[in-house]
Amino acid sequence: MIFITMLVGGILGYVFRSEVDDRMHTEMLLTIKLYQNDTQVTDAWDAVQTHFQCCGLSLDKNPGYEVWSKQNAHFGGVYKIPATCCKTKDDGLRDRCQKDPNEMNAYLEGCYEKMKDFVERHAKIVGGIGVGIACLLVRNTFSVIKLFEYCYFHYFITEMLYYVEC
């Protein structure tokens, strides 16, 4: 049963991988508008930008931070990007980075591309582990069958010897 569940899960994951990709992009576009208005969304975006060293979403070959400026009124005035898009943690340099982002002080690549690469790399690893576990399940099933046969035949022979000795 576990083997069948793993097999079906792997097949469904492979078949629907493009839908997951589309859904991730759509959700990122929707949630970027909620930045600074929803604490959980803001924390999630900040964590993604910090971990993946990216900024916003790249659309039409434009840097990711341009989406911030267009989608968030908060950044439309003084700041073009949030602090987590900046490479430095120094307050003075970070303030300058937020006002005038460039390759030297900010991450310009969009987060969608970085997350997509991450998911694709790790999906292969997870898939490989799943195949390995499935193979182990099959091998162990045969081992259990052999062990059962051994125990049964040992019991059968012991019983036969008992009857022969009586």
- In the predicted model, what is the mean pLDDT of residues 14-31? 79
Number of residues that this document lists for the chain? 166
Written out in words, the top-level CATH class of the domain with range 1-165 is: mainly alpha
Beta-bridged to residue 86, according to DSSP, are: 106
Give the tens place of pLDDT for each residue, 29-80: 888 888 888 889 999 999 999 999 998 887 766 666 666 666 666 555 678 8
- In the predicted model, what is the mean pLDDT of residues 99-108? 90
pTM above 0.85, yes or no: no
Domain residue ranges of the chain, discontinuous segments joined by +: 1-165
Q: Are 50 and 43 in contact (CB under 8 A)?
A: no
